[in-house]
Structures are given as structure tokens and as C-alpha cells.
Homo-oligomer: A and B are copies of this chain.
């Protein structure tokens, strides 16, 4: 179960680490779109866009449905809740860590003033 969550975080963060795919999500936030529409919008081949949509689909962020010859893409029901939760938890720990460091830094600068340690790089 945790394994599963981890893999999903992997897939989703990888999916949104590409500017084109973030753009596709933006676009689908306005309205559904066909592969052709998306390919034109991002100036690439149908095949190329289909791959991007495939990545988004595998991550669960987008769902598609083919009616006749056109495949319509829309935002999936899964959303980005888990990812947002991970980010927030991390940011909280980050903040806590920096609070801690404030104290440590004060101690450090006291020590350094006393017997000045050398540093590389």
C-alpha cells in the first residue's frame, strides 16, 4: 500500500516535471480537448502529443475517451491531493528545521568567534 503510494508519487511528479504536460493540464482545466487540438497548441506531432497524454493518463491525472475517430482528453478524477499533501508536510518539516537552525547558528557563530574553524569550497 505504501509501495503503491510511492510509485504513484513517482509517476505523478515525473508527469508534471515537463512544461508541455503542465501546459496540457492547464489547457484541460479550461475545457476538454482532442489530441489534435493539443498537438497544434503545443506545435508538435500527433504522435508526440499522444505520448505526453499517455504519461498523464498512466499517472491518473488525465482520462481519455475515444468516440468515433477523435480521442477526447479531460482532467481525471484523481487530482493532485496526495502530491499537495506530501509537499505541505515537507514544507512544514523544512520550516521546523530552519527554526532549529536559527538556534544552532547562534551557537556556531559563538564557537567560531572563539577558535575559528577553516572551511573548504
A positions within 8 Å CB-CB of B: 6, 9-14, 16-19, 22, 25-26, 28-30, 65-68, 75, 77, 79-81, 83-84, 86-88, 90-91, 93-94, 96-98, 117-121
Contacts and interface: CB of A to CB of B under 8 A. Distances in A.
Given A19-B9, A66-B120, A75-B97, A80 B84 contact: no
Contact of A120 (B13, B68, B117): B68
Count of this chain's copies in the oligomeric assembly:
2
A16 B13 contact: yes
Chain A: interface secondary structure? helix
B87 A87 contact: yes
B97 A88 contact: no
B87 A119 contact: no
B13 A17 contact: yes
